[in-house]
Amino acid sequence: MITRYEQALESDVQAIVDLLAADPLGSQREGLAPDLHQKYQSAFQRIDQDSNQELWTVKSEEGEVIGCFQLSFLQYLTYQGGLRAQIEGVRLKESVRGQGLGQEMFEWAIARSKEKGAHLLQLTTDKKRPEALKFYQKLGFVASHEGMKLHF
């Protein structure tokens, strides 16, 4: 399958939200009701206007959005003023899983992070996703820190 990587357009927002909502955890967080559309559009506009944020789509040869992820570039004073990349919202359409696209997508995201000057790519994964943890470890990610969140 031929894929291409494109920065998301406003017209891609609904397809991205559909991907985010298409798994057990995402279905609890995301909403597909028409009244939520403006919230997603507003978030997209803020992401699109921030030079430290990149929302990417993975498109099939036919132009269908089959995957997505967001790269955030975080400037630090640590690591001699290093730049970190963080990847979030990683999704692939269920019908294309198991074809090596997940690995290809991460290889692309890693190359993009290096191109921007990042010294590392970090991610978090929900402990309720053990298959994702195994996948990330297979790609070379190391569970080096214990993460914590405080929801408001």
The CATH number of 3-138 is which of 3.40.50.720, 3.40.1080.10, 3.40.630.30, 3.40.1550.10? 3.40.630.30
Decide if 75 contacts 44 (C-beta within 8 A): no
Radius of gyration of the chain (CA): 16
pLDDT of the chain, 152 residues: tens digit per residue: 678 999 999 999 999 999 998 987 776 788 777 767 889 999 999 999 999 999 999 999 999 999 999 999 999 999 999 999 999 999 999 999 999 999 999 999 999 999 999 999 999 988 888 899 999 999 999 999 988 888 89
CA distances from residue 126 to 4, 38, 74, 89, 148 in whole angstroms, order as listed: 27, 27, 21, 12, 11
Decide if 101 contacts 1 (C-beta within 8 A): yes
Decide if 88 contacts 70 (C-beta within 8 A): yes
